[in-house]
Chain A
């Protein structure tokens, strides 16, 4: 439903989807005053910073000099044509942009990886090895009576609490009354974990890399086996006995994690521990997982890659068919080992993501306000989906994708158009 009112050169748009994190809140009201945007209703600080600092135009540059966009596109195509193994990464774009990425990657024989995939790859590995039971925002909001934040406090997803923990309306009354929030991890901000009915959060402090073991201990006790220690990594056993009991008695429990925030080696094993426990609890009650992540088109990229080539990114098209290796074909690895000899990096949403400095011919497609930090061979400014052009993005829980509106008419090209033109010149 579009509602716009016009007064001179000021436009107000309702029900705007915000692209600045993967929650994709769609209740924002945005004012466009002579192509300057302002958040009028709803939206968190990420939305305000995103919409209000976005810039509607900029110059394309070749080696730092203004070149006009056509010349920049030609030069980008020249770099890719000469390249033996290009890397197309960042992938901070929408559905249309990602479709264009896949086409260009195949045409140029490139490796593809997303800027935040170091997080979501951990999820993919668990899905491939074990499988999982996951849930959605609506189900948490309406059903969850026990929410366990493992290794995250959702600070990077500001309206998560407002939407699914502190909601006042629910389809099924029971969940709100008895809702309890638990945190497991270190340096977590827990004040938002206090529920509407006054229930204080439980905070189990332990180092990130010990969360997996804590969960294993709980799992072991729920299965009925005995634990010998009274203290595990600083946590009293009786605290874990209590949590195990709460998990068994929950009607609909959820473990929330953010794979990008579990920054220790092999964190996928910890995520696997969550999913194993969820699986075991599901024998008797309902439990599910929820992953916070996939900003900057991350969830979109994984999905489009999976349906168009079968694999969730980290694919090389160099042989004319998709070759998948989540360890070899990461952007950081192919750059570090110098497997790739050119890079096309895309970021059209958040402005604080830094493109890697590669030491190889680099093409950057980025929104004008992106902080680059070096001078690429080619810079092509691009519009932000949901601001400068329409599009679609996938939400963090993947099930839901949302349409994005065009809020202003600047001079920036869409990522999908730029990539399409480069592809034609190959």
Chain B
């Protein structure tokens, strides 16, 4: 199936194309070179006068779910600074720190994004995350399911239930929550705090389950890899914001023992101890 985008103004920094009038050819969903003249073009889309560029993907943006909505309720004075009027084709809303869902979708599209991913979808709250994402127009959406402090998973890990059973559970969660990846936040740490444990370094044991963040990380990174989930385990590591956490991050990378990880908002997990 061939599609031709005809007459657009193309921007492609990677290939040094800067505002050139060019046709773009797409074959079976992939951009390709101009075909031979005798090849049939199934569909021509006229994009004369329009910009043609690669859409951006935001792989970590809090666009939906209970905690985002709590933020919205907490910030009425912030919304006041950026109220958005409705138009003939767009809904009203508000922007700034915790935008309303329609405004978020429109603004992402205006900035040239085509896909956005909610990185912290609590399985029990997945319905709400999907509701809010469904009300985020124009961009494609997806979410990662939080499992690092999931009681069912931690029980399996503590009981040494085995790789296959854990993979089965992870795949069940991905399907049940309709997620596109798996996330850990302070792996095992959120669970530990429920037992009033106030600190959990990579090799500290959860007071109840007896498992370490290292074990949680390895187990989930391996399950995600073995299941063939395209996005690696999305990791918000331990000790976020704490001075000296650069070492924690290096230890975390080593803990994965070669399994792929996505280390997210790494700036806040890369502090040394210099300065005040």
Contact = CB atoms under 8 A, between A and B. Distances in A.
B128 A401 contact: yes
Interface string B67-111: 011101111100100011110000111100011111000000000
Given A95-B131, A321-B92, A392-B127, A143 B194 contact: yes
B86 A106 contact: yes
Nearest to A138: B124
B66 interface: yes
A213 B76 CA distance: 29
Given A171-B151, A321-B93, 12 more contacts: A127-B70, A136-B124, A139-B194, A306-B72, A306-B73, A308-B102, A308-B135, A311-B73, A311-B76, A322-B79, A322-B93, A399-B124
Interface of A: 95, 99, 103, 106, 124, 127-128, 131, 136, 138-139, 143, 171-172, 251-252, 285-286, 302-304, 306-312, 317, 319-324, 392, 394, 398-403
A103 B68 CA distance: 21
B61 interface: no
Interface string B44-68: 0000000000000000000010101
A310 B125 contact: no
A309 B100 contact: yes
A324 B79 contact: yes
B172 interface: no
Given A172-B208, A251-B196, A321-B85, A309 B94 contact: yes
Given A307-B100, A311-B79, A401-B127, A317 B92 contact: yes
B132 interface: yes
B127 to A, nearest CB: 5
B122 interface: yes
A177 B98 CA distance: 43
19 contacts: A128-B76, A285-B196, A286-B194, A303-B69, A307-B100, A307-B101, A308-B93, A308-B100, A309-B94, A309-B100, A310-B94, A311-B76, A321-B85, A321-B86, A322-B79, A322-B94, A324-B79, A400-B124, A403-B127
B67 to A, nearest CB: 9
A289 to B, nearest CB: 13
A324 B98 CA distance: 16
Nearest to A109: B86
Interface string B156-197: 000000000000000000000000000000000000011110
A306 B69 contact: yes
A333 B176 CA distance: 44
Contact of A308 (B74, B101, B195): B101
Contacts of A304: 131
Contacts of B84: 321
Contacts of A306: 69, 72-73
A308 B100 CA distance: 5
A343 to B, nearest CB: 22
A171 B152 CA distance: 10
Contacts of B135: 99, 307-308
Nearest to A285: B196
A237 B93 CA distance: 51
B92 A309 contact: yes
A163 to B, nearest CB: 15
Contact of B131 (A103, A392, A399): A392
B85 A124 contact: no
Contacts of A251: 196
Contacts of B91: 103, 106, 308
A323 B194 CA distance: 38
A400 B196 CA distance: 24
Contacts of A322: 79, 83, 92-94, 100
A172 B66 CA distance: 26
A400 B125 contact: yes
B74 A106 contact: no
B70 to A, nearest CB: 7
A251 B208 CA distance: 13
Nearest to B64: A307
A286 B125 contact: no
Contacts of A392: 127, 131
Nearest to B126: A401
Nearest to A317: B92
A231 B155 CA distance: 48
A124 B73 contact: yes
Contacts of A139: 194
B86 A128 contact: no
A7 B102 CA distance: 47
